[in-house]
Amino acid sequence: MTKQLLGKPVADVLRQSLREEIREIKAQGGKTPTLAILRVGDKKDDIAYEERLKKNCLEMELDCRSVSLPEAAPQETFLATLDALNKDDDVHGILVLRPLPETIDSRLVSRAIDPSKDVDGMSFENTARICSGDTSALAPCTAVAVIEILRHYEPSLQGKEIVLVNRSMVLGKPLAMLLLNENATVTVCHSKTADLSAVTRRAEIVVTGVGRPGFFDESYFAPDAVVIDVGINFDDQGMCGDVVRGLGTVAAVTPVPGGVGTVTSVVLLHNVLRAMKLQNGGRY
């Protein structure tokens, strides 16, 4: 029987750790950790995500500041707003909601954001530090969420053969580096990989992130495989992952919803506290 790797138990552990850290900050008389969310336009998905984050911050006693710009805001205005948040000592973490409008160069944003406040690991400096094996760097939240789930359910990742079906800067590339830090053996696949199913079937752990509902069926996995489904898609039944619903031919799989996404939002709040420490020389 296939085990469901639920995100809630992992998120609960992280929340408890977060609460303890916040209590410590308050006991020391420190500032309240503050997240600034920078949004361009009024896309429904962005606003819904922003509201969920504000609710999560309130529950965990973090402050959350929303900064919104109109869809037509010029790049110069966006960069000036970001720079003001960089320089604001009362802001400890900055989350830029993406994708940005085509009028704003995301590469400039990655260079402009303060790496010590970059809670979703988008800056080039944090990317370079992750690639160098620097474990103090702020990494993309989804990649860290996958690591937290695997650490929770797997005794050790050392020597495990892991296949990632994603090569983006948000997931595949940083996750590969984080897994190498765990001494895993990592293969990164993509849309040009020849005979993808042959590659994934040899893996002990497969992480999917192709953004195609139900793309992966039982033919892609070994019977004893652990599958981490990072896909967030929608079909006529609602939200779904990259893996077919009801997959029952593997050892374990993360559900969608209720899997990686549940952990990602808590990782983001943890990164706000980590950022606060970075800005204060390892102290709150």
Based on the fold, state whether residues 179 and 238 are members of the same structural domain.
Answer: yes
Average pLDDT over residues 79-87: 98
Burial of 187 (0-12, 13-18, 19+ CB in 10 A): middle
Residue 180 lies in a domain: yes
Residue 164 forms part of a structural domain: yes
Same domain (yes/no): 239, 189 = yes
- Does residue 1 belong to any structural domain of this protein? no
Secondary element (H or E) of residue 172: helix 172-181
Q: Please check whether residue 74 lies inside any domain of the structure.
A: yes
CA-to-CA separations, 244 to 10, 196, 200, 221, in angstroms, rounded:
23, 16, 15, 12
Task: Tell me, yes or no, whether 148 and 239 share the same domain.
Answer: yes
User: 138-185: per-residue pLDDT in tens?
Assistant: 999 999 999 999 999 998 999 999 999 999 999 999 999 999 999 999
Tokens representing residue 39 in the block: 């949004």
pLDDT range class, residue 281, cuts 50, 70, 90: confident
**Section 15-41 average pLDDT:** 93
Identity at 152, one-letter amino acid code: H
**Last residue of some domain: 115, 132, 150?**
115
Pair 254, 146 in one domain: yes
Supply 40's token pair: 């361009």
Q: Do residues 165 and 256 both lie within one domain?
A: yes
The 10s digit of each residue's pLDDT in 250-280 is: 999 999 999 999 999 999 999 999 999 999 8
- Locate tokens 């690991």: which residue? 121
Percentage of the chain beyond pLDDT 70 is: 99
Task: Report the side by side order of strands in the sheet with 34-40.
Answer: 63-69, 34-40, 93-96
In a domain? residue 3: no
Minimum mean pLDDT range among 73-77, 133-137, 182-186: 133-137
- pLDDT tens-digit map of 39-50: 999 999 999 999
- Mean pLDDT value of segment 26-48: 94
Tokens of 79: 């960069």
Query: Looking at the domain assignment, is residue 135 inside a domain?
Result: no
Asked whether residue 145 falls in the same domain as residue 256, the answer is yes
Give me the pLDDT at residue 284, please: 63
Clarify whether residues 158 and 245 are in a common domain: yes
Domain membership of residue 122 (yes or no) is: no
Residues 92 and 145 in one domain: no
By CB neighbour count within 10 A (0-12 exposed, 13-18 middle, 19+ buried), where does 168 fall?
middle
Q: Domain of 245?
A: 141-261
- Same domain? 174 vs 98: no
CATH number at residue 193: 3.40.50.720
Distance CA 73, CA 66 (A): 16
Q: What's the pTM value of the predicted model, to 2 decimals?
A: 0.95
Lowest-confidence region among 17-31, 82-96, 142-156, 226-240 = 17-31
As for how many domains the chain has, the answer is 2
Assigned domain for 181 exists: yes
> Do 99 and 70 contact (CB within 8 A), yes or no?
no
pLDDT at 95: 98
User: Quick one: CA torsion of 127, 130, 131, 133, rounded to 10 degrees?
Assistant: 160
211-253 tens-digit pLDDT:
999 999 999 999 999 999 999 999 999 999 999 999 999 999 9
